[in-house]
Chains A and B, each alone.
Chain A
Amino acid sequence: MWSRQRGRLKPLCCGVEELRCRRREREAALRKARREQQLVSKRLLRDEALEEAEEGCVAMIFGEAEIQQFLQLAQRGTEEKEREGALVSLRRGLQRPETQQTFIRLEGSIRTLVGLLTSNQALLQLEAARCLHELSHSEQSAVVEACLPATSYLLTYLSGHSSDFIELCLYTLGNLIVESEAVRRQLLPQGIVPALAACIQSPHLTVLEALGYALSQLLQAKEAPEKIIPSVLGSTLPQHMLQLLQPGPKLNLGVAVEFAWCLHYIICSQVNNALLITQGALSTLGLLLLDLAGAVQRTEDAGLELLACPVLRCLSNLLTEAAAEAVGGQLQLRDERVVAALFILLQFLLQKQPSLLPEGLWLLNNLTANSPSFCTSLLSLDLIEPLLHLLSVSNVVSVLRKVLLTVSVCGQGPCSPPCWTRWPSLTLK
């Protein structure tokens, strides 16, 4: 059910200690970026098969003359293999920032690249798109913004049919989107939201994951609550997203992770969560939580915490909406299995990613806060003891205290501590 999909990068061939060190550095950089509200990450799609074929060749730095040569050969070469080879060489060179800088400064270079992107030679098109993708991944704003002339074509190709090509266009767009507001100010009037809404109907998992990525970057933008989320909510995107998050044989982890994060960015912006609730967000996410709890018992090391985190956040925030209570029947979240699932996930997080425990407890708080029924479930399922065990985990104490107090008043309140005496099995450590 949790079908895996193809990976992106080969494992790095360096020691475990070095890996850990690099990861700690990256984490520290990300934390700093987040505190400064500058959290930007891009995804680089380098075809594993291509990487293998090119193994051992270090990307070179090309000068103006060489770049000119490659471009001319790609444009006017007589042999197709020759033309394609020229673009492949260029693409490899563009992995280096120095070559990128030289490229964008060369007059007519982007124009030529866009011309090749829109040509009818399928392989040239693909290679030109890969070149653009390398540029989009750059850390230099000037390099990324040089790709702007290509955006209308990237969007046009989203309604094509070649899944590999569309995937590449989507990842490139995602990288461009996250670069700056200037880029988004061009993409929005060019119709990126309707283009994504049409593309989300694709049956290809790789396309869907790429689309989720691009959309998540769009929704993460600072100006998203005012300028982007309303039009996303007005499109068919939310319904499709929820459909793609429904548990079942078609659920794919990579796809689900992206769209769960998309939903999180929409929901925590609090633009129109009532709409999402009427579209069944609570029940879909609740069922997904159950499914996740089942999956963590069966599979080891599958990256399930990457999905658990946004699902926990979405549910927690949605439960604070008035609409969560008002909406009736199927759309509401009442199933006590959610509590069981949550505890299984808490145990999983305790082992796998303890830093995410507060988020799980946050959901528990919101579930129990206005629901005597859920409080009763907690007691009848014998979950107080495990909950108290968490007191030894340092980062959860304040959230845990809230939850315990909530349960002690059976989700109702205010009332006094004597309620504790009702359940003699309860012992406070």
Chain B
Amino acid sequence: MQLPPALHARLAGAPGSAEPLPVERDPAARTAPFRFAPRPVRFPREHDFFEEGDVQRHLYLQDVLMQVGGAPERPRVPEFTCQVAGCCQVFDALEDYEHHYHTLHRNVCSFCKRAFPSGHLLDTHILEWHDSLFQILAERQDMYQCLVEGCTEKFRTSRDRKEHLVMRHLYPADFRFDKPRKSRGPVMPGAAEQVLAEALGDDGVPSEGDAMEVCSEHVEPPPVPAGERRAYSHRIPSTICFGQGASRGFKRAKKRNKHQ
């Protein structure tokens, strides 16, 4: 198919539209052998017309078709240590360091040093755990915001919010980033408070890794206080506890303060 040479120049030229040529209707039009009405055509989703293009799209997805671009580069660098105080992790690739930094150091609560996966969860945590004004307001109005982005519901208590997360948003009941704040006063017999303290006491350092797994070798969970009630339809296995959120990123010299 030969294209006129001026076409490429036109493409590169200025935007514009052609003045439509005047059309004279033939007086004999009424006796024409056919009538044709131009019409734009629309094709819906599943139309066969799309078969070819769809097949090519899926070949691409399956990577049979071709590669888009060349091989990636993952340069190795001389080993270096994480610069955050107290962290002695060593790296030889920048991507690994990036991930480490974002996981452990980026969204860290300056009060209790817990790390969170996002700024949003960190902000929620600070508000609910460390803001006394929040506590005061929470006595009178619904302050506990739903954690799902885009959901504007607020709740009176952390429990109500958890129930909403489970029922409405199909979140797991033991969702790791929604821990109930422990109350003031004597440490509650439930939850991982005791367990984590034990774990700390055992070896003097907070264990790294999953707080859930910290509990896996602990004592039987204490009986649930009368006031609590499990509203959820599925049982939480006894080896899983409502931990303290992410474990600390560095060693601490002194025991945790039980009254926060």
Q: CB within 8 Å of B: which residues of A? A: 4-11, 22-23, 26-27, 30-31, 34-35, 37, 39, 41-44, 47-49, 75-76, 115-116, 118-126, 149, 152-153, 156-157, 159-165, 186, 189-191, 193-195, 197-198, 213, 225, 235, 253-254, 257, 261, 265, 268-270, 290, 293-294, 297, 303, 305-306, 309-310, 313, 316-317, 319-320, 334-337, 340-341, 343-344, 346-347, 350, 353, 355-356, 358-359, 362, 365-366, 368-370, 372-377, 379-383, 385-386, 389-390, 402, 405-406, 408-419, 422
CB distance from B81 to the nearest CB of A (A): 14
> Bound state CA distance, A399 and B101, in angstroms?
57
Not counting A376-B20, A413-B36, a sample of 15 additional A-B residue pairs whose C-beta atoms are within 8 angstroms of each other reads A6-B72, A22-B64, A27-B59, A76-B213, A118-B176, A157-B118, A160-B102, A160-B117, A165-B103, A337-B13, A365-B41, A370-B38, A405-B38, A413-B38, A419-B26
Cα distance A369–B37 when bound, in Å?
9
Q: Which residue of A lies closest to B67 (CB)?
A: A7
Say whether A409 contacts B36, CB under 8 Å.
yes
Tell which of B128-136, B167-175, B223-231, B251-259 binds the partner: B167-175
Say yes or no: A37 contacts B46, CB within 8 Å: yes
Whether B10 is near chain A, meaning CB under 8 Å from some CB there, is yes
Supply 11 A–B pairs (Cβ within 8 Å), ascending by A. A5-B68, A27-B55, A30-B59, A35-B51, A43-B62, A125-B103, A160-B117, A164-B99, A317-B43, A343-B7, A382-B6
A377 and B17 contacting across the interface, CB-CB below 8 Å: yes
Closest to B62 in A: A41
User: Is there an interface contact between A356 and B56, defined as CB atoms closer than 8 Å?
Assistant: yes
Q: Which residues of A contact B95 (CB under 8 A)?
A: 164
Cα distance A374–B16 in the bound complex, in angstroms: 11
B70 & A6 in contact (Cβ 8 Å cutoff): yes
With A189-B168, A390-B1 in contact, is A39–B58 under 8 Å at CB? yes
Question: B residues within 8 A CB of A303?
Answer: 60, 65-66, 68
- Of residues 1 to 60 in B, which have CB atoms within 8 Å of A's CB atoms? 1-4, 6-8, 10-13, 15-21, 23-26, 28-29, 31-46, 49-60
A410 touches B20 (CB 8 A): yes
- Residues of chain A within 8 A (CB-CB) of B39 are 369
Residues B55 and A309 in contact, CB atoms below 8 Å apart:
no
Tally B residues with Cβ within 8 Å of A. 101
- Specify the chain B residue showing the minimal Cβ separation from A152: B171
**Which residues on the A side are within 8 Å of B213 (C-beta)?**
75-76, 115, 119
Expressed in whole angstroms, the minimum distance between the Cβ of A361 and any Cβ of chain B is 10
Residues of A within 8 A of B77 (CB): none
Minimum CB–CB distance from A366 to chain B (whole Å) comes to 4
Distance (whole angstroms) from the CB of B151 to the closest CB of chain A: 7
Q: Which of B11, B42, B168 contacts A337 (CB 8 A)?
A: B11
Q: Which residues of B contact A116 (CB under 8 A)?
A: 210
Q: Which of B2, B6, B42 contacts A389 (CB 8 A)?
A: B2
- The yes or no answer to B139 lying at the interface (CB within 8 A) is no
Q: Smallest CB-CB separation from B177: which chain A residue?
A: A156
Query: A320 touching B41 by the CB < 8 A rule?
Result: yes
Q: Which residues of B contact A152 (CB under 8 A)?
A: 169-172, 175
Interface: B104 (CB within 8 A):
yes
Q: How far is the CB of B191 from chain A (nearest CB, A)?
A: 17
Tell whether, in the assembled complex, residue B100 and residue A123 are in contact, meaning their CB atoms are under 8 Å apart.
yes
Taking a contact as CB atoms under 8 Å apart, the answer to whether A306 and B57 are in contact is yes
Bound CA span A269–B210, Å? 44
**B98, A159: Cβ atoms under 8 Å?**
no
Asked if A42 meets B61 with Cβ closer than 8 Å, knowing A165-B99, A320-B42, the reply is: yes
**CA gap between A47 and B31 in the complex, in Å:** 70
Q: Select A411's contact among B38, B44, B65, B208, beta carbons within 8 Å.
A: B38
Nearest CB on B from A196, distance (A): 10
A386 vs B13: C-alpha distance when bound (angstroms): 21
Contact between chains at B52 and A412 (CB < 8 Å): no
Q: Which partner residue on chain B sits nearest A382 by CB separation?
A: B4
Contact B118–A160 (Cβ < 8 Å): yes
Residues from chain B with a CB closer than 8 A to the CB of A293 are: 11
B106: Cβ under 8 A from any A Cβ: yes
Tell whether A119 pairs with B96 under 8 Å between CB atoms, given A309-B57, A389-B1. no
Determine whether the beta carbon of B103 is less than 8 Å from that of A414. no
Given contacts A191-B169, A336-B16, A375-B20, contact A121 B121 (CB under 8 A): no
Is B69 in contact with A161, judged by CB distance below 8 angstroms? no
Is B85 an interface residue, CB under 8 A from the partner? no
Is B69 touching A6 in the complex (CB atoms < 8 A)?
yes
**Residue pair A161, B15 in contact (C-beta under 8 Å):** no
A419-B7 contact, Cβ under 8 Å, with A268-B45, A386-B2: no
Of the candidates B20, B28, B103, B176, which one forms a contact with A153 in the assembled complex, judged by CB atoms under 8 Å apart?
B176
Contact partners of B137 in chain A: CB under 8 A? none
List, in ascending order, chain A residues with CB within 8 A of B175's CB: 152
Q: Would you call B7 and A369 a contact (CB within 8 A)? A: no
**Inter-subunit contact B64/A268 (CB<8 Å):** no
Whole-angstrom CA separation of A191 from B62 in the bound complex: 27
Q: List, in ascending order, chain B residues with CB within 8 A of A390's CB.
A: 1
Which residues of chain B are within 8 angstroms of A23 by Cβ–Cβ distance?
Answer: 59, 64-65
> Is B56 within 8 A of A268, CB to CB?
no
- Give the one of B7, B13, B24, B66 with max A CB within 10 A: B7
Q: Which residue of B lies closest to A178 (CB)?
A: B61
CB atoms of A159 and B149 under 8 A apart: yes
